[in-house]
Amino acid sequence: QLQVVESGGGLVQPGRSLRLSCAHSEFTVNNYAIGWSRQAPGKEREGVACFSSSDGSTNYGDSVKGRFTISRDNAKNTVYLQMNNLKPEDTAVYYCAVDTGFVNCYSDYVRLFDSWGQGTQVTVSS
């Protein structure tokens, strides 16, 4: 089971940016699926972004499209979520997951990844 550890969360003002990091256990393949999800208090977990290893596309949630970007550094075994123009409604615990197998990023991918990390808190407030 792949292990991941998220970091980089914190308190940020609306309109500012934050980059979350997700360090994962080392594996031999360079192409793998990446998932980011979040959960706000009293709400269900929702998918934020998913990178598909099968075709290289990324599926972003409607609420973050144009503001959030997935990237990765294979040499550092780390994936990132760059979050720009943050809004109070982005406040949540953010989780990441990686998978060397196929994940359909255009389905309910939150349930398809084998495991998610412990999460990092992001609070957007003035």
Residue-level pLDDT at 7:
97
Q: Indicate the burial class of 49 (C-beta count within 10 angstroms; 0-12, 13-18, 19 or more).
A: buried
Per-residue pLDDT of the chain (126 residues; tens, 9 = 90+): 678 999 999 999 999 999 999 999 887 777 899 999 999 999 999 999 999 999 999 999 999 999 999 999 989 999 999 999 999 999 999 999 999 989 999 999 999 998 999 999 999 999
Question: What tokens does 33 get?
Answer: 């699926």
Would you give the distance in Å from CA 44 to the centre of its chain? 16
Residue-level pLDDT at 120:
98
Answer yes or no: are the C-beta atoms of 33 and 98 closer than 8 Å: yes
Among the listed residues 50, 52, 53, the one whose alpha carbon sits nearest the alpha carbon of residue 29: 53
Indicate the pairing of strand 120-124 with strand 10-12: parallel
